[in-house]
C-alpha cells in the first residue's frame, strides 16, 4: 500500500445512526470533532485514530472501515496475521488450537501470531537505546495513535521515537523469508492483518516512516471474532504447532502494558491510556522527567487488550495471555540455544525511516497574523460562558473561539450568547431557533423516543 | 500582541510551574521554534519557583510580540539583599525545607540570565522583587 504524507483515517461516522449527541466531540483528546451543518465532522489533520469517539458513541454510529475478506481469494497463499490479544479475548474453554483451526476453516491457508520472532524487535529496541541518536528516553513506535499524537502535539519528541517497525511487519518478513526457502513466490502471498484498533489499520494504510506496508488487507478483530465463534464448535483438532515455532513469552505479552519493557535492563516506564500518555508527555516537555531510557506509551487502557475492536473484557484478556505466556519458552533462552543469526536478515527490514514532525499550528504559520488571531480568540473568550457544554458543536468554549477566528464558526453558535441576545432584544426567538436548526439539522429537536433512556433503546 | 497574566502563591510548591506550563501551551500554538520555547519556559519556571520558594505572593505578566516575548515577574517578599551573589551559580538562601523538595540549588537567577536576552532585577529588601526580562524571537539562533 502506497505511502503518503496525509493521514489515512479509518474512523467513519454513519450519519443515519448518529443522533448528534456530542459525546464523541467531548471525548476526543485532540479536539478533532465538530458539528457542521447537522453532521459530525472529523478534522483529519488533528485526528490520531485513538478510537475514543467510537468507545463513547451511545448509538454505535462510529465504525472502522475494513477490507473485504473476499479479497483473500486473490492470492494463492492466504495468510492471516493475528495479534496475540486476538487469542486472549476468547473464553478459556475455547483452545488455541480451536481458534487456529477455525481461522484455517474460514479459508486462510496459514495463521500466524504477529509477535514472532520477537527477539528481532528486542534487539532493535536495545540498540536504539544504546545508540541514543536524539536523546533519552527513546520512545516506542509500537502504538500508531501515540506516534501521531507526538507528531502533531509534541513535535519536539518526534526524533526520539524509535525507528523500529511493528510486529506485523516483522512476522510478514519472517514468513516471506520462510516461504522463499520453500520456493513460494512473494506475489502469490496475501497478508491479512487482524487489527484490534483504528490506529493500527490507519498505520497500515498510510505507514509512517516507510514507503509501503507489506500488508495487503486489514480485517477488524470483532468481525473475525464473530466468524470464528460461528465455526469453532465444528472444527477438528489440527496440528498447528509449526505455525507457532517462534512464539515466546515475550512475544505473547508484547502488546500488553509493560510488553516492551519488562525484559529490559534499561530504566523504563510504561504508560497506558491516551490521557495518561498526554499527561506524561506534558511532564516531559516541562523537563520534569529524567533518568528514563525507554518509554512505552500506549493509547488504550491495558494497551491492545483494551483495543476498541476487541470484544471481551480487557482484564480477562490480559489474564488469559499471562497464563498462556507461562506455557511458552522465553525468547532470550530459546534464541541463545538456537542462535540469533538465522534472524539477522530480518533486522534491516524492520527499521523505519526517520519520522517527521507535523506540528498543529492552530492559527497558521504567519507569526504576526497568528498573534492577531490568538488575541481575538482570547477577547472572544470574555463573552463565552466557559461552561464547555458542546451545544455549539465544538468541544469547549475555547475551541469555539479558535474556530471563530479561523472563520469556521460564529458567535451565534453559542446558545448562551443567543439567549443573551434575545434578552437584549437583539434577535427574535424564531431567528435563534433557526440558527440552532442550521447547526443541528432540521427537526433535531422534535420529540423522538429512540434514544438511551427513552422508550425505544433498540438502536 | 497577546497578553497573559498569572497569579503565583508563595509557599505552594504543589502548583509551582503551572503558570510557565500554561505559557508553554500558548507559545506552542504559534510558529515559534521548540528551542526558543524551551528557553522562555525555563526562564519563567525558574522565576515562578523563586516566588513560590521565597515570596508571599506574586504575579507573572507575559506579552507576546511577533519579534519578542516580554516577561515581568513581580512579588511581595523579602527582596534580595545581595543581587551580585544571587547571580552566582550555586549561591542559595533557600531554607532546608525548600531544598529537601528539590528546589533551591542556587541556579535560579543564573539560569534565567542564561536563557534570556535582557534581564533587569529591581529589588527592595523587605518589600519585594521585580524581574523584567525579554527573549528575542530570533530564528537565526
Q: DSSP for A371-397?
A: HHHHHHHHHHHTTS-S----TTSSSSH
- Structure confidence at residue A4 (pLDDT): 44
pLDDT surpasses 70 at A132: yes
pLDDT surpasses 80 at A336: yes
Reading the block at residue A22, the C-alpha cell is 456530542
CATH number for the domain formed by residue range(s) B2-136: 3.30.565.10
Name the percent of chain A lying above pLDDT 70: 98
Most distant pair of Cα atoms in chain A: their distance:
84
Mean pLDDT of A357-379: 91
pLDDT surpasses 90 at A365: no
Q: Cβ separation of A367 and B17 shorter than 8 Å?
A: no
Q: Cβ separation of A155 and B34 shorter than 8 Å?
A: yes
pLDDT surpasses 80 at A181: yes
Q: Cβ separation of B29 and A378 shorter than 8 Å?
A: no
How close B47 comes to chain A (CA, Å)?
A: 14
- Structure confidence at residue B139 (pLDDT): 63
pLDDT band at A226 (very low <50, low <70, confident <90, very high): very high
**What mean pLDDT value characterizes chain A?**
92
Question: Angle formed by the axes of helices A96-105 and A221-231, to 10°?
Answer: 100
Mean pLDDT of A277-300: 93
Reading the block at residue A111, the C-alpha cell is 495463521
Residues 6+ apart with CB under 8 A from A433: none
DSSP 3-state of A404: helix
Other beta carbons within 10 angstroms of residue B80's beta carbon come to: 21
Name the percent of chain A lying above pLDDT 90: 78
- Structure confidence at residue A5 (pLDDT): 55
Write the residue in B2, B41, B45 that is nearest to A374 by C-beta: B2
Residue ranges of domains in chain A: 11-64, 69-350, 367-440
Reading the block at residue A237, the C-alpha cell is 483438532
Does A11-64 carry CATH code 3.40.50.300? Answer: no
Task: Summarize pLDDT for B27-75 with one digit per residue, the tens.
Answer: 999 988 888 999 999 999 999 999 999 999 999 999 999 999 999 999 9
Cα of A459 vs its chain's centroid, Å: 26
ipTM of the complex, rounded to two decimals: 0.85
Q: Does B42 touch chain A (CB under 8 A)?
A: yes
Task: Please tell me what DSSP assigns to residue B105.
Answer: -
Q: Which residue did the predictor score with more confidence, B100 or A33?
A: A33
Mean pLDDT of A432-441: 88
Residues 278-297 of A with CB under 8 A from B: 282, 285-288
Residues 6+ apart with CB under 8 A from A449: A455, A456
Distances (CA, A) of A173 to A42, A134, A244: 34, 28, 15
DSSP 3-state of A207: coil
Of A198-207, A327-336, B37-46, B53-62, the range with the lowest mean pLDDT is A198-207
Per the CB < 8 A criterion, the answer to whether A228 and A310 are in contact is no
Residues of B in contact with A363 (CB under 8 A): 29-30
Mean pLDDT of B81-108: 79
DSSP 3-state of B58: strand
Distances (CA, A) of A148 to A271, A280, A389: 16, 16, 28
Per the CB < 8 A criterion, the answer to whether A176 and A186 are in contact is yes
Task: Please tell me what DSSP assigns to residue A323.
Answer: H
Reading the block at residue A124, the C-alpha cell is 532493535
pLDDT band at A6 (very low <50, low <70, confident <90, very high): low
**What mean pLDDT value characterizes chain B?**
89
Residues 6+ apart with CB under 8 A from A296: A140, A142, A257, A258, A259, A260, A261, A268, A269, A270, A271
Q: Cβ separation of A286 and B41 shorter than 8 Å?
A: yes
pLDDT band at A347 (very low <50, low <70, confident <90, very high): very high
Residues of A in contact with B20 (CB under 8 A): 286
How close B34 comes to chain A (CA, Å)?
A: 6
Q: Cβ separation of B24 and A361 shorter than 8 Å?
A: no
Report the alpha-carbon distance of residue A182 to residue A176 in Å, rounded.
10
pLDDT surpasses 50 at B140: no
pLDDT surpasses 90 at A288: no
Cα of A131 vs its chain's centroid, Å: 28
Mean pLDDT of A289-300: 96
Mean pLDDT of A107-119: 96
- Structure confidence at residue A137 (pLDDT): 97
Per the CB < 8 A criterion, the answer to whether B62 and B69 are in contact is yes
Report the alpha-carbon distance of residue A105 to residue B135 in Å, rounded.
67
Write the residue in B17, B32, B66 that is nearest to A368 by C-beta: B66
- Structure confidence at residue A3 (pLDDT): 41
Of A249-263, A278-292, A293-307, A399-413, the range with the lowest mean pLDDT is A278-292
Residues of A in contact with B62 (CB under 8 A): none
Amino acid at each position: 500500500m502506497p505511502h503518503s504524507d496525509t493521514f489515512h483515517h479509518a474512523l467513519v461516522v454513519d450519519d443515519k445512526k448518529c443522533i448528534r449527541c456530542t459525546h464523541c466531540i467531548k471525548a476526543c483528546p485532540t479536539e478533532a470533532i465538530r458539528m457542521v451543518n447537522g453532521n459530525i465532522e472529523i478534522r483529519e489533520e488533528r485526528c490520531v485514530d485513538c478510537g475514543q469517539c467510537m468507545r463513547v458513541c451511545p448509538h454505535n454510529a462510529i465504525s472502522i472501515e475494513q477490507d473485504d475478506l473476499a479479497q483473500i481469494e486473490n492470492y494463492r497463499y492466504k495468510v492471516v496475521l493475528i495479534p496475540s490479544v486476538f487469542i486472549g479475548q476468547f473464553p478459556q474453554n475455547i483452545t488455541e488450537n480451536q481458534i487456529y483451526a477455525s481461522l484455517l476453516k474460514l479459508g486462510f491457508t496459514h495463521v500466524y501470531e504477529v509477535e514472532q520472532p520477537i527477539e528481532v524487535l528486542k534487539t532493535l529496541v536495545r540498540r536504539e537505546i544504546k545508540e541514543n541518536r536524539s536523546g533519552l528516553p527513546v520512545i516506542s513506535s509500537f502504538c500508531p495513535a501515540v506516534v501521531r499524537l507526538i507528531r502533531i502535539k509534541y513535535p519536539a519528541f518526534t526524533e526520539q521515537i524509535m525507528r523500529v517497525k511493528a510486529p506485523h511487519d516483522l512476522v510478514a518478513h519472517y514468513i516471506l523469508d520462510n516461504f522463499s526457502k520453500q520456493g513460494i513466490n512473494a506475489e502469490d502471498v496475501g497478508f491479512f492483518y487482524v487489527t484490534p484498533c483504528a490506529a493500527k489499520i490507519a498505520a497500515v494504510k498510510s505507514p509512517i516512516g516507510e514507503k509501503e506496508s507489506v500488508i495487503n488487507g486489514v480485517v477488524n478483530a470483532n468481525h473475525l471474532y464473530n466468524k470464528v465463534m460461528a465455526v469453532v464448535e465444528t472444527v477438528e483438532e489440527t496440528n498447528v504447532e509449526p505455525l507457532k515455532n517462534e512464539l515466546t513469552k515475550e512475544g505473547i505479552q508484547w502488546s500488553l502494558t509493560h510488553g516492551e519493557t519488562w525484559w529490559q535492563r534499561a530504566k523504563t516506564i510504561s504508560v497506558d491510556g491516551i490521557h495518561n500518555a498526554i499527561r506524561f508527555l506534558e511532564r516531559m516537555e516541562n523537563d520534569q522527567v529524567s533518568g528514563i531510557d525507554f518509554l512505552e506509551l500506549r493509547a488504550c487502557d491495558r494497551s491492545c487488550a483494551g483495543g476498541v475492536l476487541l470484544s471481551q473484557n480487557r482484564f480477562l484478556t490480559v489474564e488469559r495471555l499471562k497464563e498462556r505466556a507461562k506455557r511458552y519458552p522465553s525468547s532470550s533462552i530459546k534464541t541463545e540455544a538456537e542462535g540469533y543469526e538465522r534472524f539477522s536478515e530480518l533486522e534491516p527490514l524492520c527499521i523505519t525511516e526517520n519520522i517527521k514532525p507535523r506540528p498543529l499550528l492552530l492559527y497558521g504559520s504567519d507569526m504576526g497574523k497568528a498573534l492577531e488571531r490568538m488575541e481575538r480568540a482570547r477577547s472572544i473568550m470574555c463573552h463565552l460562558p466557559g461552561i464547555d457544554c458542546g451545544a455549539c458543536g465544538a468541544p469547549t468554549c475555547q475551541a469555539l473561539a479558535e474556530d471563530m477566528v479561523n472563520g469556521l464558526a460564529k458567535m451565534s453558535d453559542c446558545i448562551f450568547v443567543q439567549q443573551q441576545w434575545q434578552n437584549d432584544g437583539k434577535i427574535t426567538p424564531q431567528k435563534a431557533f433557526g440558527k440552532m436548526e442550521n447547526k443541528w439539522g432540521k427537526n433535531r429537536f422534535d420529540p423522538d423516543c429512540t434514544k438511551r433512556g427513552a422508550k425505544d433503546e433498540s438502536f | 500582541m497577546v497578553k497573559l497574566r498569572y497569579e503565583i502563591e508563595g509557599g505552594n510548591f504543589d502548583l509551582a510551574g503551572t503558570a510557565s506550563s500554561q505559557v508553554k501551551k500558548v507559545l506552542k500554538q504559534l510558529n515559534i521554534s521548540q528551542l526558543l520555547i524551551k528557553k522562555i519556559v525555563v526562564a519563567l519556571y525558574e522565576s515562578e519557583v523563586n516566588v513560590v520558594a521565597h515570596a508571599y505572593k506574586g504575579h507573572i505578566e507575559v506579552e507576546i510580540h511577533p519579534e519578542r516575548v516580554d516577561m515581568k515577574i513581580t512579588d511581595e517578599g523579602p527582596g534580595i539583599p545581595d543581587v551580585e551573589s544571587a547571580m552566582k551559580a550555586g549561591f542559595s538562601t533557600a531554607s532546608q525545607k525548600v531544598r529537601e523538595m528539590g528546589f533551591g540549588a542556587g541556579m535560579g537567577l543564573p539560569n534565567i540570565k542564561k536563557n534570556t536576552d535582557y534581564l533587569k532585577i529591581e529589588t527592595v529588601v523587605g518589600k519585594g522583587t521585580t524581574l523584567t526580562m525579554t527573549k528575542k524571537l530570533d530564528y537565526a539562533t
